[in-house]
């Protein structure tokens, strides 16, 4: 059996020499003696000892505890502390590093020997690469997951849809298999195969940062747990650089050898919450990479992964869109059915992505909600639409109401009520020219807050409309209990009036009921003359739809205002 290599970190040279002698007597090899934390970090990487004996108080800036943390996190070399210090504070700091041993000076040699042997036993390293083995890898993964799963943040790790898209921290796990490694063994012999493994292990260790643990599982298989990442893309970048690093040529004697790898990637908690499941899925993804011919990575395949990858790139772009002025507001006219004139407009956001072109709000608003970006986007919309409306008023156009959509997460955001009032004050718009469109679902999920916030707005003079009525639950009680001024009949209803007599009857009932509650009724999505006539007959108040005009950019909408045309 080969002798274990030990490094000593101790600033008193006499003690260090003594210790070295004892260790040699016990049958270990002392690879180095260093006296500062800085040196310890450097030499540990260079000498790759199996174990380090570390003093706490050292020369230099970095003490033994900090050096140990650094060394263990990057190299996973087990560390035993040797110190005369045993005060509580020091002990607490030492404990927090999960040391493999803690020996208070002076100590008996027997005690030292036992502690070292236990530490080496606990860290049963792979003898070829000196990396942690499968056993250690599993226990490290278990340890990390038990922290996470037992998080006191309650159901944080209970998986729901939002975790898949939010920049919610995810722990990436890589399962790496070297392609065609058996060929190397056959053609170059098993010694060379070991050299290849050691070389790859060294490259991996040196090239990847943010590693929690790198292990040699067996044969040609390695595994990595990375530190949590916000975006899958961060892990994918690392996988790509690993493929790169591995595929660089290596010289064995007179031969130049090329090795490639297949990588399977899973993320905690998206692809599993227990070690076995995550490893199994990573392994399956790795096979998938092998089937694709090797030298590539594959994410654990579930349908959601594919979707969320696309969303991920949208999300990154969305973060910059405000800064880069990629958002615009389009204005869609609302026409009063009796006067036949424009009496309002709905502000609808548009995103002009530099490469992808126009992206529909239906596509990016949900992502903006999940990521919290909706707060700043929503405020931008409100501010821009209100100040544009003020500009139109100052230019002498007949004042009209501007309607702005509010989304769910905007609604539950703190201070929403005050912030909206503040924006109106800033742009100096008379409050009753602003109408906020909220959906039934939004009110339903936040009944108490909704009631309080909506009443405050109403007192201030802001109008509130229930958007998409008829689409969801269509609760009439909400219309009665909450201070709505307007109800917008959903376009799906309007499109069916002509085709379905039941829809027709319900639409008539909605209009009558809304009027009995003193609500103004707006029909959205009106596309045909027949729909208009029906709504006229049944005394709907306002019409919005392609029949009169789609959402338009400022200049085009201004053109309509200038024309002052009578639509009906
Ligand atoms: P919404 O509030 O129901 O807006 C009406 C949607 O119907 C708009 O889609 C509009 O372009 C479309 N539309 C208007 N007339 C017609 C018509 O005659 N026929 C048909 N088929 N469609 C018509 P858009 O602009 O794509 O917006 C989709 C949704 O995105 C909006 O539905 C709204 O929920 C959301 N949204 C848009 N802008 C904002 C915003 O600034 N903030 C928030 N929170 N949500 C927004
Ligand atoms: Ca709306
Ligand atoms: Ca609507």
- Residue range 376-391, pLDDT digits in tens: 999 999 999 999 999 9
Q: What is the pLDDT of residue 132?
A: 85
Alpha helices (H) in 51-96, listed in sequence order: 64-75, 88-96
C-alpha–C-alpha distance, residues 35 and 8, integer Å: 8
Check whether residue 322 and residue 276 sit in a common domain: no
Provide the pLDDT for residue 303. Answer: 47
Q: Which residues contact 364 (CB under 8 A, 6 or more apart)?
A: 314, 318, 351
- Looking up tokens 């050096």 gives 67
326 and 277 assigned to the same domain: no
Nearest residue (by CA) to ligand 1, atom 23, is 525
Residue 378 to residue 489: CA distance in whole angstroms = 23
Nearest CA to ligand 1 atom 2: 405
Q: Which CATH number goes with the domain that contains 352? A: 3.20.20.450
The CATH number of the domain holding residue 286 is 3.30.70.270
User: Can you tell me the mean pLDDT for 436-453?
Assistant: 84
Q: Is residue 305 part of a domain?
A: no
Q: Residue 123: which pLDDT band, with cuts at 50, 70 and 90? A: low
Residue 307 lies in a domain: no
One domain, residues 221 and 248: yes
- Domain's final residue, options 71, 97, 122: 122
Contact (CB, 8 A) for 263 and 298:
yes
Same-domain check for residues 333 and 245: no
* Average pLDDT, integer, range 226-233: 93
Same domain assignment for residues 294 and 317: no
Ligand nearest to the CA of 348: 1
Over the stretch 51-93, which tens digit does the pLDDT of each residue have?
A: 999 999 898 889 999 999 888 877 778 899 988 866 778 777 8
Three-state DSSP at 454 gives: helix
Distance 534 CA to ligand 3 centre (A): 19
Give the distance (Å) from ligand 3 centre to CA of residue 442.
Answer: 13
Q: Which ligand is nearest to the CA of 465?
A: 2
Residue to substitute in 322, 330, 348, 383 for testing ligand 1 pocket (most ligand atoms within 8 angstroms of CB): 348
Q: With pLDDT > 90 as the criterion, what percentage of the chain qualifies?
A: 51
**CA separation (Å) from 148 to 139, 142, 157?**
14, 10, 7
Q: Please check the confidence at residue 151 and state whether its pLDDT lies above 70.
A: no
In angstroms, what is the span from residue 147 Cα to ligand 3's centroid? 45
DSSP SS3 for 98: coil
Looking at residue 309, its pLDDT comes to 62
Pick from 372, 386, 524 the residue to mutate for probing ligand 1's pocket: most ligand atoms within 8 Å of its CB: 524
Strand partners, 229: 170
Centre of ligand 1 from the C-alpha of residue 217, in Å: 54
Instruction: Measure the CA–CA gap between 314 and 322, rounded to whole angstroms.
Output: 13
How many domains does the chain fold into?
Answer: 3
Quick one: 368 and 510 in the same domain?
yes
Residue 107 lies in a domain: yes
Q: How far apart are CA 294 and CA 302, in angstroms?
A: 20
Q: Could you tell me the distance, in angstroms and rounded to a whole number, from the CA of residue 382 to the centre of ligand 2?
A: 13
Tell me: do 417 and 537 sit in the same domain.
yes
Closest ligand 1 atom number to CA of residue 365: 45
CATH number, domain containing residue 56:
3.40.50.2300
The ligand 1 atom at the shortest distance from the C-alpha of residue 368 is 44
Q: Is the pLDDT of residue 115 over 90?
A: no
pTM score above 0.75: no
Q: Are residues 409 and 529 in the same domain?
A: yes
Contacts of residue 416, Cβ cutoff 8 Å, sequence gap at least 6: 410, 453
* Ligand 1 binding residues, C-beta < 6 A: 332, 348-349, 360-362, 365, 378, 381, 405-407, 437, 467-468, 491, 524-527, 545-546, 551
pLDDT in tens, 299-315: 997 644 455 566 677 88
Atom of ligand 1 lying closest to residue 348 CA? 38
* Residue nearest ligand 1's atom 15 by CA: 545
Residue 488 lies in a domain: yes
Residue 1 has pLDDT above 80, yes or no: no
Give residue 377's domain range: 313-563
Please check whether residue 308 lies inside any domain of the structure.
no
For residue 32, the model assigns a pLDDT of 95
**Does residue 445 have a pLDDT over 80?**
no
Whether residue 568 is contained in a domain is answered as no
Average pLDDT, the chain: 87
Burial class (CB in 10 A: 0-12, 13-18, 19+), 248: exposed
* Of the residues 96, 122, 148, the one at which a domain ends: 122
Would you tell me the crossing angle of helices 374-394 and 554-563 to the nearest 10 degrees?
Answer: 30
Contact assessment for residue 427 and residue 390, using Cβ atoms and an 8 Å cutoff: yes
For 393-427, how does the pLDDT look when each residue is reduced to its tens digit (9 = 90+)?
999 999 999 999 998 878 777 788 888 999 999 99
* Within-domain flag for 227: yes
Instruction: Name the residue with the closest Cα to ligand 1, atom 38.
Output: 348
Q: Note the ligand closest to the C-alpha atom of 334.
A: 1
Asked whether residue 164 falls in the same domain as residue 27, the answer is: no
Higher-pLDDT residue of 414, 541: 541
Q: What is the CA(439)–ligand 3 centre distance, in A?
A: 8
* Residue range 162-184: mean pLDDT, rounded: 79
**10 and 146, same domain (yes or no):** no
On whether residue 200 sits in a domain, the answer given is yes
Task: List strand residue ranges (DSSP E) for 194-240, in order.
Answer: 211-218, 221-226
pLDDT value of position 11: 92
- pLDDT tier, 136 (very low <50, low <70, confident <90, very high otherwise): confident
192 with 295, same domain: the answer is yes
Domain end residue (candidates: 122, 151, 174): 122
503 pLDDT tier (thresholds 50, 70, 90): confident
> What are residue 255's DSSP bridge partners?
252
Cα–Cα distance, 169 to 165 (Å, whole number):
10
Residues 207 and 319 in one domain: no
Nearest CA to ligand 1 atom 43: 405
Within 10 A of 301 (CB to CB), how many other CB atoms are there?
14
């Amino acid at each position: 059996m080969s002798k274990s290599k030990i490094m000593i970190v101790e600033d008193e040279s006499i003690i260090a020499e003594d210790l070295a002698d004892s260790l040699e007597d016990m049958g270990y090899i002392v690879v180095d003696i260093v006296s500062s934390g800085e040196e310890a970090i450097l030499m540990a990487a260079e000498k790759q000892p199996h174990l380090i004996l570390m003093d706490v108080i050292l020369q230099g800036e970095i003490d033994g505890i900090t050096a140990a943390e650094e060394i263990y996190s990057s190299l996973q070399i087990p560390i035993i502390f040797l110190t005369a210090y045993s005060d509580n504070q020091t002990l607490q700091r030492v404990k927090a590093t999960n040391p493999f041993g803690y020996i208070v000076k002076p100590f008996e040699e027997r005690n030292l020997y036992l502690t070292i042997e236990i530490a080496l036993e606990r860290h049963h390293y792979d003898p070829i690469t000196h990396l942690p083995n499968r056993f250690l890898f599993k226990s490290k993964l278990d340890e990390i997951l038990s922290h996470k799963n037992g998080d006191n943040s309650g159901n944080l790790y209970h998986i729901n849809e939002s975790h898949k898209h939010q920049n919610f921290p995810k722990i990436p796990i890589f399962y790496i298999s070297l392609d065609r490694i058996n060929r190397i063994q056959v053609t170059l012999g098993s010694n060379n195969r070991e050299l290849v493994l050691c070389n790859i292990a060294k490259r991996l260790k040196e090239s990847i940062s943010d590693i929690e643990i790198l292990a040699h599982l067996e044969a040609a298989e390695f595994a990595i747990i990375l530190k949590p990442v916000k975006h899958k893309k961060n892990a994918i970048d690392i996988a790509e650089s690993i493929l790169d690093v591995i595929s660089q040529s290596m010289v064995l004697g007179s031969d130049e050898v090329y090795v490639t790898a297949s990588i399977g990637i899973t993320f905690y908690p998206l692809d599993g919450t227990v070690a076995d499941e995550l490893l199994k899925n990573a392994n399956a993804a790795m096979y998938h990479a092998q089937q694709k011919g090797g030298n590539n990575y594959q994410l654990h395949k579930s349908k959601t992964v594919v979707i969320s990858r696309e969303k991920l790139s949208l999300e990154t772009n969305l973060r910059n869109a405000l800064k880069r002025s990629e958002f615009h507001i389009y204005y869609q006219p609302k026409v009063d059915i009796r006067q036949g004139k424009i009496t309002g407009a709905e502000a609808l956001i548009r995103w002009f992505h530099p490469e992808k072109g126009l992206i529909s709000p239906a596509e990016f608003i949900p992502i903006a909600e999940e990521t919290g970006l909706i707060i700043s986007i929503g405020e931008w919309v409100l501010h821009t639409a209100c100040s544009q409306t003020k500009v139109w008023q100052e230019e002498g156009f007949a004042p009209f109401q501007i309607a702005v959509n509010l989304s769910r997460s905007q609604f539950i955001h703190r201070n929403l009520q005050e912030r909206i009032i503040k924006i109106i004050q800033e742009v100096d718009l008379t409050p009753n020219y602003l109408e906020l469109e909220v959906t039934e679902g939004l009110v339903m999920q936040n009944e108490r807050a909704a009631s309080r916030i909506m009443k405050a707005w109403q007192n201030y003079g802001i109008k509130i409309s229930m958007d998409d009525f008829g689409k969801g639950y269509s609760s009439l009680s909400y219309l009665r209990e909450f201070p709505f001024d307007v109800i917008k009949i959903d376009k799906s209803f309007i499109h069916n009036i002509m085709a379905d007599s039941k829809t027709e009857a319900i639409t008539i009932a909605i209009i009558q009921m809304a009027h009995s509650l003193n609500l103004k009724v707006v029909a959205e999505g009106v596309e045909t003359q027949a729909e208009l006539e029906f709504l006229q007959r049944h005394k709907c108040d306002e019409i919005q739809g392609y029949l009169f005009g789609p959402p338009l950019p400022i200049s085009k909408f201004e053109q309509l205002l200038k024309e002052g045309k009578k639509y009906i």
